[in-house]
């Protein structure tokens, strides 16, 4: 299995100023460490809700660092300072609307206010960028999906499609722990 470089960005005015502890980056890494079997290299950023800075950070992770996967957390709601989707769309080559639709579908299972989310998924060059929610539980839910008490999938999380997307745009093959998330990949 090839090592995968993953860009992680937590977007929060208060956490970036040290007013409270960032929980987004640890939640992303905890879930990815359980779900992805490949060796991983994380490139992490904790930044405020500033569109120019978010755009610059996304471009750096894709163009300079060559991360085939970039995950953001936070800044996807309707608040005036929530500009993560706007910045993501500004640097996109292609919009992948199914990712945002599926994240909202998963979240709607848990909370009716998920309809307010503006999460998006896009491709820039050979990288997939996904905007995830900010709460650790919501990160886990949108990535892994909704499961019943026996662990059977009721609603697929978005990560089930991430390895296929990355592979078809020219990135490395990502193998997953099927107990956490079963990825849909072509046979090799």
Instruction: List pLDDT tens digits, range 41-85.
Output: 999 999 999 999 999 999 999 999 999 999 999 999 999 999 999
The torsion of the CA quartet 118, 120, 124, 128, rounded to 10 degrees, works out to 140
Calculate mean pLDDT across residues 117-127.
97
Label the pairing between strands 127-132 and 69-73.
Answer: parallel
Calculate mean pLDDT across residues 11-25.
94
User: Given pLDDT bands bounded at 50, 70 and 90, which one contains residue 116?
Assistant: very high
Calculate mean pLDDT across residues 75-104.
96
Among candidate residues 112, 129, 111, the one with its CA nearest the CA of residue 120:
129
Q: Does the structure show a pLDDT above 70 at 188? A: no
Sign, CA dihedral 105-111-113-117, equals negative
pLDDT digits (tens, 9 = 90+) for 51-60: 999 999 999 9
What is the predicted pLDDT for the residue at 148?
93
What is the predicted pLDDT for the residue at 185?
81
> What distance, in Å, lies between the first and last C-alpha atoms of the chain?
13
Identify any residues that bridge with 47 across adjacent strands, giving them in sequence order: 11
Calculate mean pLDDT across residues 120-141.
97
Identify any residues that bridge with 166 across adjacent strands, giving them in sequence order: none
What is the predicted pLDDT for the residue at 2?
93
User: Given pLDDT bands bounded at 50, 70 and 90, which one contains residue 1?
Assistant: confident
Label the pairing between strands 4-11 and 40-47.
Answer: parallel
What is the predicted pLDDT for the residue at 151?
87
Q: Does the structure show a pLDDT above 70 at 143? A: yes
What is the predicted pLDDT for the residue at 16?
93
What is the predicted pLDDT for the residue at 59?
98
Alpha-carbon gap, residue 162 to 175, rounded angstroms: 10
Is the CB of residue 145 less than 8 Å from the CB of residue 106? yes
């Amino acid at each position: 299995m090839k090592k995968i470089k993953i860009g992680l960005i937590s977007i929060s005015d208060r956490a970036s100023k040290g007013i409270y502890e960032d929980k987004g980056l640890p939640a992303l890494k905890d879930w990815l460490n359980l779900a992805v079997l490949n060796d991983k290299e994380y490139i992490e950023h904790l930044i405020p809700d500033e569109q120019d800075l978010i755009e610059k950070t996304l471009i750096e992770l894709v163009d300079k660092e060559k991360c085939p996967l970039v995950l953001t957390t936070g800044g996807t709601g309707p608040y005036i300072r929530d500009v993560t989707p706007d910045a993501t769309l500004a640097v996109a080559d292609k919009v992948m609307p199914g990712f945002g639709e599926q994240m909202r579908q998963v979240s709607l299972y848990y909370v009716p206010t998920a309809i307010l989310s503006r999460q998006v998924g896009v491709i820039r060059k050979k990288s997939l960028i996904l905007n995830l929610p900010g709460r650790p539980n919501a990160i886990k839910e949108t990535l892994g999906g909704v499961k019943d008490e026996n662990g059977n999938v009721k609603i697929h999380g978005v990560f089930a499609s991430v390895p296929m997307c990355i592979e078809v745009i020219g990135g490395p093959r990502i193998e997953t722990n099927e107990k956490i998330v079963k990825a849909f990949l072509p046979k090799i």
